[in-house]
Structure 1
Amino acid sequence: MATLRHICTLALCAAALVLAGCAGPRRVESSVNSYSTLTTLPSPPTYRFERLPSQQQHAAAFAPIEQLAEAALARVGLRRDDAHPRLIAQLGVEGGYATPRYWPYYGSYYGPASPYYGRWGWGLGYGGPWGWGWGMNWMMDAPPTLYHRRVSLVLRDAAGGQVVYETSALYEDVWTRDPDIYGVLFDQALSGFPQPPQGERTLRTDMQPAAKAAPKTAAEPAPAATK
């Protein structure tokens, strides 16, 4: 009985730590790969998006991703101009989840022989068929869910078609907050534009918790008139 009480106490302490962590900033650490032939900001610094066939098929669902990328591109000095672009921008996004390949507390249900071991689950497109959520599993031997998020961006010269900038950011962790996480990843992927360090690097960004709406107070009824 004492052992059971000890386990329950540890579980409650862990829950308190998780809830406390959710109230503070969360660190997004991603692996960024960037390659550039640009030496300065293009003149004029304009671009337009070019959608792949799959993105055209799900245009309404993909629009929020373009908005996040457009905001990140604006922060590095590029302006969207569909009529007079200097650059052509192609975007890519991925999202999925899996159980980790190694978890020191595996039970037989989640062990290497289990069908759940290391399996990825994927979405088809942003905002439509995808559905995101979060939760906690209190099974002591169950591994946490590992979330996979990746964005990519390719910039080509509009006149000649050659690629002048290629970058991507990959994030894998047990926590995520969509769609904000994609905006952070686009910012990280464009870090250092137009002359980022070539190749792979690790970037970290602290995400502030979402602001909570102020509670609404019901209006008190007016006092009845006295005669």
Structure 2
Amino acid sequence: MTRRWLALLLLGTALLAGCSTGPRIVEGQVQSFSTLAALPAPATYRLERLPSQQLPSFAPIAALAEQALARAGLTRDDANPRLLVQIGVQADAVPRADPFAPYGPYGGPYGGLWGFGGGWHGRGWGLHGGWGFYAPTPLHRRAVSITMRDATSQTVVYETSAVHEDVWVSDPAVYGVLFDAALNGFPKPPPGGREVRLPLPAQP
């Protein structure tokens, strides 16, 4: 068996094993910035949806954000908000270099193992391409952001984001986990970037 086929076989076995054992873990790369010393009192907010977020298709995403904000200790109160909250989401497919090509993008045989080939490409759900000798499954990148402003002064008091990349078909439920990851440590998160690992809820 050639080195190429052996590597593909091992990769396929690992992926199948990951599908059959335990809950899927979402690894979120999180960065947060806060000027809050404690949870605001009252801990109320109003979600301000941008014009592009007024479509009915965005409602499930907004609901996931509101659930995460509730778990962080905040209560939605459109009439008496202490915080004004804006959210953002993004879905992109990032192509990967073929790790088994004779000469990878970084030189030498098998160079650039799982490296990125180019920038962000495309939007939307689903896989672009499939398994093949020279067409590795792209990484699916999902990202969320949350910005909080003081309702009285309009000053930004909290800013956070979470990014997740994997080879699985994009699942909207991942956004809910990423909102939770982005709010990890609220209102006084650890300084600097960090990785937050949370399980993806089982689908009914």
Residue among 146, 159, 173 paired with 1:153:
146
1:99 is displaced (CA, Å) by: 0.9
Which residue of structure 2 aligns with residue 97 of structure 1? 93
Q: 2:164 is matched with which residue?
A: 171
Structure 1 residues 210 and 21, CA gap change in structure 2 (3 angstroms): farther
User: In 2 relative to 1, CA 195–96 (structure 1 residues): closer, same or farther, beyond 3 Å?
Assistant: same
| 1:82 matched residue in structure 2 | 78
17-26 or 152-161, which deviates more: 17-26
More deviation in 24-33 or 73-82?
24-33
- Equivalent residue number for residue 121 of structure 1: 121
Q: Secondary structure at the match of 2:59?
A: helix
CA contact (8 A) 2:127 2:137 kept: no
Q: Find out whether 1:200 has 2:193 as its counterpart.
A: yes
Farther-moved stretch of structure 1 (191-200 vs 47-56):
47-56
Identity of aligned residues (%): 49
TM-score (norm 1): 0.73
1:54-76 Cα offsets, whole Å, 9 max, x none, are 223xx212211110000000001
> Computing the radius of gyration over CA atoms, which structure comes out larger, 1 or 2?
1
Alignment of 1:135-150 (within 5 A): 137-150=130-143
**Are the structure 2 counterparts of residues 203 and 10 from structure 1 closer, same or farther at C-alpha, using a change threshold of 3 Å?**
closer
User: 2:177 maps to which residue?
Assistant: 184
Following TM superposition, by how much is the alpha carbon of 1:175 offset from its aligned partner in structure 2, in angstroms?
A: 2.4
Kept in 1, the 8 Å contact 2:129–2:138? The answer is no
Q: Give the Cα separation in 2 of the matches to 1:168 and 1:10.
A: 35
Q: Which runs of 5+ in 2 are unaligned?
A: 107-116
Instruction: Letter of the 2:190 partner, please give it.
Output: P
Structure-2 change in CA distance of 1:107 and 1:141 (3 Å): farther
Normalised TM-score (structure 2)? 0.81
RMSD of equivalent CA atoms = 2.8
- Please say if residues 107 and 141 of structure 1, whose CA atoms lie closer than 8 Å, have aligned partners that are also in contact: no
AA partner of residue 32 (structure 1): V
Describe the shift of the 1:138–1:155 C-alpha distance in structure 2 as closer, same or farther (beyond 3 A).
closer
Letter in 1 for 2:74: L
Q: Give the residue type in structure 2 aligned to 1:88.
A: L
User: Following TM superposition, by how much is the alpha carbon of 1:169 offset from its aligned partner in structure 2, in angstroms?
Assistant: 0.4
**1:35 matched to which residue of 2?**
33
Give the deviation of 1:134 after TM superposition. 4.6
Mapping 1:5-20, distance limit 5 Å: 7=5, 14-20=11-17
Alpha-carbon separation, structure 1, partners of 2:45 and 2:195: 27
Gap change, CA 1:138 and 1:92, over 3 Å in 2: closer
Is contact 1:98–1:147 with CA below 8 Å preserved after alignment?
yes
Instruction: Tell me: CA distance 1:137–1:98, structure 2 relative to 1, closer, same or farther (3 Å).
Output: same
Contact map agreement 1:105 1:142 (CA 8 A) in 2: no
Secondary structure of the 1:122 match is: coil
Q: Tell me the secondary structure at the aligned position of residue 181 of structure 1.
A: helix
Give the letter aligned to residue 99 of structure 1.
Answer: P
Q: Distance in 2 between matches of 1:118 and 1:173?
A: 17
Aligned residues: 193
Gapped regions of structure 1 (runs ≥ 5): 124-129, 212-227
1:160-215 deviations in Å (ceiling 9; x for gaps): 1101110000112222541111001000000001110122111112335535xxxx
